[in-house]
Amino acid sequence: MNQPVIYFDNAATTKVLAEVAELMYRSQLTDFGNPSSPHGLGRHARAVIEQSRRTIAHLLNVQPGEIFFTSGGTEANNAILWGCTTGLGLRHVITSRLEHPSVLKTINAIQEKFDITCHFVNTDEKGVIDLSHLKLLLEAKPGAVVSLMHANNELGNVLPINEVGLLCRQHQTLFHSDVVQTVGKVVLDLKNIPIDFAALSAHKFYGPKGVGAMYIKAGRGLLPFMQGGAQERSMRPGTENVHGILGMAKALELVHADMDVVNLNITSIRNYLINALSESIPGIIFNGNIFGDTLPTIINVSLPGHLEAGLLLPRLDLEGICVSTGSACSSGSSKPSHVLAALGASPKTPNLRISIGRYNTINEAKRLVEVLTQICS
């Protein structure tokens, strides 16, 4: 099978930018000292980390001291949620049923050990968060922590993060947002968003896998989630992923540099896909807030007909097309999506998440429409 692969699974992960890969390759050969070692090579590795921290902090408009490196978004969400509840002693968590499993399952795990109550804010059939319900919850549960993701990884829906942050401030409530799907796709000015904590992951913005960060606003005083070392000012023990951190900073710098041009291309592919799929596949349903506040990178569809949900991915895979069903991390899994279930979608209806990235072309979109039309007819 020599057909070129068409990759429409950019919300699951992205291809590392060549410049990032080259920089990391060279860094592994030269910056190999342990950043905690006091000798020259160690100090050099430390300098690589601190320069990367400054770059990332500058692009997010925060202080370098507010960035703590982790192994990715999952660890960042875990550390922040455990830190807020068991560390800061908060007893109420307000979230939604549409969050990533690294938030929902973490809250479950905390609840199994501690007396914490979780409150779910209502969402409508498009997955839009009900802000008046959030306000009621905030009034009823002072001193809670709110965890709501900036953009939903399955639907693309974007949260009015400023409005939510302001509501949280007005109710003296800490606000955490998983911004994994928006970093590098929109400009995030975290200093001017009323937010206390955020989770980031490099592999969603053309950086390496296995590295991410937490933003912790100065003075929030979280306790560390793991023990065993003084790295990251004792907030995240373990030898730092020096080359990953370097690659993450470079990737963020590069995607910020051409964000507008890339977003224009992605938006035109998205508009083409929405129009062409609507025309060629009568009965197709676009899930989420597709014509509202949403990321241009994600289109989630339910397909009509008698196609078996579990056969859709293998059929597309045979044609060299990579997309996903359900959540990012469970591509290929036959488990129905908890997000679509919360929207009231039938678990039997085949569904697809098409996620567009910087390398996609209109011709690839045309091929995807052609193959999907064949499959559905």
Q: In whole angstroms, what is the distance from residue 25 CA to residue 250 CA?
A: 13
Q: Which residues pair with 373 in a beta bridge?
A: none
Closer of 300 and 372 to ligand PLP (Cβ) = 300
The least distance separating ligand PLP from the CB of residue 278, rounded to whole angstroms, comes to: 26
Residues that bind ligand PLP in the complex, under the rule CB under 6 A: 72-74, 100, 102, 149, 153, 178, 180-181, 201, 212, 328-329
| Strands lying side by side in the sheet with 351-355 | 285-287, 298-302, 351-355
Closer of 241 and 376 to ligand PLP (Cβ) = 241
Nearest in space to 8 (alpha carbons), one of 350, 351, 323 = 323
Residue type, 23: L
The least distance separating ligand PLP from the CB of residue 240, rounded to whole angstroms, comes to: 16
Closer of 109 and 140 to ligand PLP (Cβ) = 109
The least distance separating ligand PLP from the CB of residue 101, rounded to whole angstroms, comes to: 8
CB 339 within 8 A of CB 149: no
Largest CA distance in the chain: 66
Interacting residues of 315 by C-beta distance below 8 A, sequence separation 6+? 375
Nearest in space to 131 (alpha carbons), one of 92, 94, 102 = 94
Other Cβ atoms within 10 Å of 298 Cβ, number? 26
CA angle 204, 209, 215 (to 5 degrees): 65
Catalytic residue among 84, 118, 322, 329: 329
Element containing residue 290 per DSSP (H, E): none
Closer of 100 and 176 to ligand PLP (Cβ) = 100
Radius of gyration of the chain (CA): 21
The least distance separating ligand PLP from the CB of residue 176, rounded to whole angstroms, comes to: 12
Is 329 considered catalytic here?
yes
The least distance separating ligand PLP from the CB of residue 199, rounded to whole angstroms, comes to: 6
The least distance separating ligand PLP from the CB of residue 223, rounded to whole angstroms, comes to: 21
Nearest in space to 68 (alpha carbons), one of 79, 58, 59 = 79
Interacting residues of 336 by C-beta distance below 8 A, sequence separation 6+? 309, 326, 347
Closer of 46 and 127 to ligand PLP (Cβ) = 127
Helices (H) and strands (E) in the chain, counts: 11, 12
Closer of 242 and 328 to ligand PLP (Cβ) = 328
328 DSSP 8-state letter = G
Active site members: 329
